[in-house]
Structure 1
Amino acid sequence: MFGKIKYFLRRPLQLIVVPVVRIFPGLKFIRETQDYQGFVNFEFWFTQKVLNIGGNRKAYWPVHFTSKVYDVEKIDVGIDAYPGIMGGCYITGRGGLTIGDYTQIAPNVAIVTANHDPYDSRKHILKPVAIGKYCWLGAGCKIMPGVVLGDWTVVAAGAVVTKSFPEGFCILGGVPAVKIRDLDKEKCVPFENKHKYRGYIKAEHFEKFKGKYLNL
């Protein structure tokens, strides 16, 4: 169904995208984030924010229509760090979720901040998750409630992270995940984008947005 909608929308979107992006200040993030690792085009934004295909309109950052994000008001995403921008992700913010700048998240990743009480499945046990800067979560990995990952943590594809590695600068893998090796801090390259956006919002305006719309 989405394929048909996408087909019929593509041509008119192509005809209007350039003039709209040039004229409408609210969409200038499209041209200013093209150097991002997780950049979006007009079609992506239109599908999410206008058509609400996938049901992720409330998310203030790009989310693919096949991903699911819950409790957006409890999720704090950094610059160029968009949980669910790749397909098939499952992200819950109920217990509180923080993701640092320039952290990349592959397809089919699950980040969970709440579990059912084993004695009463109607109740939830909430535990916040915090992921540092410059991390990389590989395809299909799972980050479980209460986990803290320090900066420059790489999680291998398919790993299930059940405990914290706050020191960062390491590669994790396995089920449950263990440290495979440490990274050489001297080789880790910090970088910054020229234009800084936290989702669709300029970083300089984020504190005001957070105070009004988020519950962190």
Structure 2
Amino acid sequence: MRLKFFFKRIVYKIPVVSDYFKIREYHPAGLTFLRFCKFRFFKLNKTIYWPCDKDCVVTGAANITIGKNCSIGSRGCYIQGVGKLIFGDYVRVAMNVGIMSGNHDILDHSKHIKKITFIGDYSWIGMNSIILPGVNLGPRTVVAAGSVVTKSFPDGFCVLAGNPAKIVKEIDRSHFIPPCNEYEYYGYVAVNKFHKFHKKHLMSN
């Protein structure tokens, strides 16, 4: 009884312990207690502030912004922030997905053409898909596995498939139920702490 009291009243209120148990409520990709502790206490570069699998490649992290409760670090993904890459809230990205915000100049491949790539709230990007630089996907856009998205679909609420991807199905907005978790985080960072974290570590965003 005393041990249970000690845990609930004292240990659970230690920030790293309390935050971890809350984060587990939405099960973001690749989150473990050891990774969480590594991020909080040992990782000097905190521009990648969300869980990423060891096989996920992230470049230009200072140009990448993620929304609340995203899962974008699955195995084999290539998340590229040469330009500016913005993820809305509750975005899900499956394995082996490439999302880019810049490309090489076709006349001089030593130069990059920077663009803004935007993935809207509640979007779901299927396995082996590619999102090319400058694409703007509206809210609740579902990209079918293996698709190559070459142009924008800013209205969202649709299913895209193919190469190049096109709309194969409209999603009824009136029947869509947006996900909502009791605890909301920007990666590893609680919503109420994110402004301070952003100011300290992500000034370039």
TM-score (norm 1): 0.81
Instruction: Specify the alignment match of 2:148 in structure 1.
Output: 160
5+ residue gaps, structure 2 = 1-10
Aligned mates of 2:200, 2:118 — CA distance in 1: 22
* Structure 1 residue 208, shift from structure 2 partner: 2.5
Aligned mates of 2:42, 2:96 — CA distance in 1: 23
Query: Residue 182 of structure 1: which of 170, 182, 191 is its match?
Result: 170
Whether the 8 Å contact between 1:48 and 1:62 is mirrored in structure 2 is no
Give the 3 Å change call, closer, same or farther, for CA 30–191 of structure 1 in structure 2: same
Aligned mates of 2:92, 2:125 — CA distance in 1: 6
Which residue identity does 1:68 align to in structure 2? V
Which residue identity does 2:59 align to in structure 1? Y
Instruction: Specify the alignment match of 2:85 in structure 1.
Output: 97
Aligned mates of 1:212, 1:94 — CA distance in 2: 21
Instruction: Specify the alignment match of 2:184 in structure 1.
Output: 196
Query: Residue 171 of structure 1: which of 159, 170, 180 is its match?
Result: 159
Q: Does 2:21 match 1:34? A: no
TM-score (norm 2): 0.85
Query: Residue 45 of structure 1: which of 36, 44, 67 is its match?
Result: 36
C-alpha offsets along residues 145-184 of structure 1, whole Å, 9 cap, x if unaligned? Answer: 0000000000000101010000000000001100111001
> For 1:28, what is the secondary structure of its paired residue?
helix
Which residue identity does 1:34 align to in structure 2? R
Whether the 8 Å contact between 2:46 and 2:201 is mirrored in structure 1 is no
Query: Residue 70 of structure 2: which of 63, 68, 81 is its match?
Result: 81
Instruction: Specify the alignment match of 2:7 in structure 1.
Output: none
Query: Residue 68 of structure 1: which of 57, 61, 71 is its match?
Result: 57
Aligned positions, number? 193
> For 2:103, what is the secondary structure of its paired residue?
strand
Which residue identity does 2:18 align to in structure 1? K
Aligned mates of 1:83, 1:95 — CA distance in 2: 18
> For 2:111, what is the secondary structure of its paired residue?
strand
Whether the 8 Å contact between 1:158 and 1:174 is mirrored in structure 2 is yes
5+ residue gaps, structure 1 = 1-20
**Bigger relative contact order, structure 1 or 2 (CA pairs below 8 A, ≥6 apart):** 2
Aligned mates of 1:99, 1:25 — CA distance in 2: 27
Whether the 8 Å contact between 1:159 and 1:173 is mirrored in structure 2 is yes
Aligned mates of 1:111, 1:199 — CA distance in 2: 18
Instruction: Specify the alignment match of 1:116 in structure 2.
Output: 104
Query: After the TM superposition, which residues 1-12 of structure 1 pair with which residues of structure 2 at under 5 Å, given as runs?
Result: none
* Structure 1 residue 57, shift from structure 2 partner: 6.5
> For 2:112, what is the secondary structure of its paired residue?
strand
Instruction: Specify the alignment match of 1:59 in structure 2.
Output: 48
Aligned mates of 2:54, 2:40 — CA distance in 1: 10
Give the 3 Å change call, closer, same or farther, for CA 159–49 of structure 1 in structure 2: farther
* Structure 1 residue 22, shift from structure 2 partner: 4.1
Identity across aligned pairs (percent)?
Answer: 40
